[in-house]
Amino acid sequence: MTNNNSANGDKISVIADIHAIPFVNSIVEEFLSENGISMKIQMQTNIVIDEIFSNIAKYSYGEQEGEATLIYQYCREESLLFLTFKDSGLQYNPLLAPEPDITLPAEDRDIGGLGLLMVRNIMDTVEYLYEGGFNILKMTKKI
Amino acid sequence: MDIIKNVEGDKVTLALSGRLDTTTSPEFEAEIKNTITQAQELYLDLEKLDYVSSAGLRVFLIAQKTMNKRGKMVIKNVNEIITEIFEVTGFIDILTIE
């Protein structure tokens, strides 16, 4: 735990494989719980991690093995949660993908894009940068 | 995630608990595909389910499309987190939720 004037948190890097997601979730859940953040927000954060890590695992590195990193921080004074996802795979800005049509009947529905829609709904800000060979997805949520 | 299955003739209830996400949804999909062949009425009880990610929504959509042809599918006991997910993704309009 750091002093009260700055955000506390940590960084976790794993092989970009979907089977690493429960481990990442458990680390972040413990961190949020220690900071007194509600179970609802813990579960919503799990959803965000699941969506972003699974995208990195499935698409970022093709057949190659690569790494995915999550930096998680909580600033108590501002009640702000920061999540930053990084990978060094193919350059891809998910925020430019078309939004799904959520008004279609079941027969015409496709699930593409729903994950990001959920992420944008759960988090308050989501921003993409490509820097130093890394895809960087920075998000904040007011708690 | 755990799935408890209860069969009464062609009426099948699957009670889900835990998390329906990228790593657990293949198990749910396998159970749904197996169940769908024997059900005319499919009930999904989500009382003990913490949340659903888009991987889980995909399986709900497969199940709903199939059950639209075979009979009906009803989702019960949806918590606040999952209700919000159904709302933001428009699934609230294509699923029958009690």
pLDDT digits (tens, 9 = 90+) for A64-100: 999 999 999 999 999 999 999 999 999 999 999 988 9
> Which region, left, alpha or beta, applies to residue A132 given φ > 0 means left and ψ of -120 to 50 means alpha?
left
In this predicted model, what pLDDT tens digit does every residue of A4-26 receive, in sequence order? 457 799 999 999 999 999 999 99
- Whether B54 sits inside 8 A of A46 (CB atoms) is no
A44 close contact with B: CB closer than 8 A: yes
What pLDDT does A1 receive? Answer: 43
Average pLDDT, chain A: 93
Of A22, A44, A106, the CB nearest to B23: A22
ipTM exceeds 0.90: yes
Q: Residue A101: which pLDDT band, with cuts at 50, 70 and 90?
A: very high
Query: CA geometry: angle at A111 spanning A107 and B22, to 5°?
Result: 130
A109 close contact with B: CB closer than 8 A: yes
What pLDDT does A136 receive? Answer: 98
Q: Where are the beta strands (DSSP E) in chain A?
A: 8-15, 67-75, 80-87, 125-131, 134-142
CA distance, residue A59 to nearest chain B CA (Å): 14
- Suggest the residue from B42, B54, B69 to mutate for an interface test with chain A (most A CBs closer than 10 A): B54
3-state SS class at B75: strand
Longest dimension (CA), chain A: 54
Q: Residue A2: which pLDDT band, with cuts at 50, 70 and 90?
A: very low
What pLDDT does A33 receive? Answer: 97
Closest CA to B32 of B21, B23, B43, B22: B43
Closest CA to A112 of A68, A60, A55: A55
C-alpha A129/C-alpha B19 separation (Å) is 31
Nearest CA in chain A to B80: A40
CA distance, residue B7 to nearest chain A CA (Å): 26
Q: Looking at the predicted structure, is the pLDDT value of residue B54 above 60?
A: yes
- Whether A107 sits inside 8 A of B22 (CB atoms) is no
Q: Looking at the predicted structure, is the pLDDT value of residue A110 above 90?
A: no
